[in-house]
């Protein structure tokens, strides 16, 4: 593989923004990839994959390169050199990459790979927390969370069928495969920018991980029901619910962020999902008005996001132990408040994209013991672990109101 100076420099600039300025990797890359109109798909994919790789393995590479934050350009180039050497790429004799100690890099890599926190490139506190909560399973889960995520599409059945979408994409040289047990999912055989296809602009599909696609089905919705998506965000699951409901009934999408609900409206329009009504939670009245009015409530709770590290590797460096402690309090409050919207005989899902029992099973057990949960019974739960599913880590519990 021949390295091109302008692509390497672009990757190094992006890394400095992500590590030194605390910016989100996906946002930085959006800007970086627009820098040169002459770059083709292969050039852009080299920059994106290089940056994500170095972000993912930051702790390991920092240790091998013997550098400390903040990273000036020289240090960032050293991280790049470690990345290239470990991939067997011949490092050119540019002055930024002078004197690469190839054998020393490989020797240090072998030694550090015996220690989990370096091998899996995670902060000490996160390694300790994972082991405390998951025991021996933590080894397999964190290893799986360091793999690159597949691109999974969810077919929008309001507009097309899985076979029709698969054939349309095949004509564009985009090969996909169906996934057993996921009726609306197609997996791309090779990564590609699917957002530029006509099928996407016509609302035939959304990009949504296979695990995330299980949540809407788990809620057991029927056309004609009144359903509340209480933490709707930009609406990935709301759009899926609308398609299962065949646009019949009422789907109320709530969130505390207006910008997310605006994005949901835009996506719903493209998807042809016209039974969705968005409501901003700007006062407690919004929830009170819906007390005991919903057949189904989905609480896709804010969480640590540990189950989706494969697609957000920079979260490892942004997460803090205090955040996880605080988010658990928020989860309990949301369960207490939003569960009141379920009508007698109705059902509710509590879901997170975390693999920590303290954010999942424990929250449900505690809720059922509190006064607010006394009218609910536990129906079933599903734990999706990255090591066994190959997809994101998720948890979902279905509760029924007496």
Report the distance separating Cα 1 and Cα 33, nearest Å. 20
Report the distance separating Cα 24 and Cα 74, nearest Å. 22
User: Bridge-partner residues for 327, per DSSP?
Assistant: none
In the three-class reduction of DSSP (H, G, I as helix; E, B as strand; rest coil), residue 154 is classed as: strand
User: Bridge-partner residues for 194, per DSSP?
Assistant: none
Calculate the alpha carbon distances from 282 to 36, 87, 254, 255, 256 in Å.
42, 50, 10, 9, 7
> Residue 107: in which H helix or E strand, if any?
helix 102-112
User: Bridge-partner residues for 136, per DSSP?
Assistant: none
In 3D, which of 209, 197, 226, 93 has the Cα closest to residue 151?
Answer: 209
Report the distance separating Cα 25 and Cα 52, nearest Å. 8
Angle between helices 321-338 and 124-134 (to 10 degrees): 50
Cβ atoms of 281 and 333 within 8 Å: the answer is no
User: Which of 353, 355, 356, 397 is the catalytic position?
Assistant: 353
Report the distance separating Cα 100 and Cα 96, nearest Å. 10
Q: Which residue has the tokens 């207006």?
A: 258
**303 belongs to the catalytic site:** no
Residue 304 structure tokens: 């640590």
Cβ atoms of 369 and 338 within 8 Å: the answer is no
Catalytic residues: 353
């Amino acid at each position: 593989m021949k390295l091109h100076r302008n692509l390497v420099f672009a990757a190094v600039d992006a890394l400095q923004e992500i590590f030194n300025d605390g910016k989100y990797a996906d946002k930085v890359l959006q800007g970086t990839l627009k820098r040169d109109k002459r770059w083709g798909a292969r050039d852009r994919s080299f920059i994106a994959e290089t940056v994500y790789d170095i972000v993912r393995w930051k702790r390991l590479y920092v240790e091998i390169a013997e550098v400390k934050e903040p990273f000036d350009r020289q240090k960032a180039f050293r991280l790049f050199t470690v990345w290239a050497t470990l991939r067997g790429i011949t490092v050119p004799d540019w002055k930024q990459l002078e004197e690469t100690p190839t054998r020393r890099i490989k020797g240090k890599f072998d030694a550090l790979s015996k220690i989990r926190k370096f091998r899996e490139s995670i902060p000490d506190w996160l390694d300790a927390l994972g082991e405390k909560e998951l025991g021996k399973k933590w080894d397999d889960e964190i290893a799986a969370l360091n793999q690159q995520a597949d691109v999974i599409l969810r077919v929008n059945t309001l507009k097309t069928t899985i076979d029709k979408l698969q054939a349309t994409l095949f004509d564009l040289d985009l090969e996909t495969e169906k996934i057993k047990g996921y009726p609306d999912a197609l997996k791309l055989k090779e990564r590609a920018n699917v957002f530029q296809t006509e099928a996407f602009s016509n609302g035939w599909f959304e990009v949504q991980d296979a695990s995330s696609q299980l949540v809407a089905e788990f809620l057991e919705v029927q056309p004609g029901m009144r359903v509340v998506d209480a933490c709707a965000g930009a609406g990935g699951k709301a759009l899926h619910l609308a398609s299962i409901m065949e646009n019949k009934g009422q789907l109320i999408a709530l969130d505390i962020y207006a910008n997310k609900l605006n994005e949901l409206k835009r996506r719903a329009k493209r998807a042809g999902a016209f039974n969705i009504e968005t409501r901003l939670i700007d006062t407690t009245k919004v929830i009170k008005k819906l007390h005991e009015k919903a057949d189904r409530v989905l609480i896709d709770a804010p969480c640590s996001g540990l189950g989706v590290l494969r697609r957000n590797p920079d979260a490892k460096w942004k997460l803090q132990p205090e955040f996880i402690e605080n988010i658990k309090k928020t989860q309990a409050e949301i369960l207490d408040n939003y569960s009141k919207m379920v009508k007698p005989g109705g059902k509710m899902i509590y879901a997170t994209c975390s693999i920590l029992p303290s954010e999942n099973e424990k929250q449900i057990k505690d809720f059922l013991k509190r006064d607010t949960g006394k009218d609910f019974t536990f129906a079933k739960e599903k734990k999706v672990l990255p090591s066994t599913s190959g997809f994101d880590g998720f948890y979902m519990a279905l509760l029924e109101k007496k």
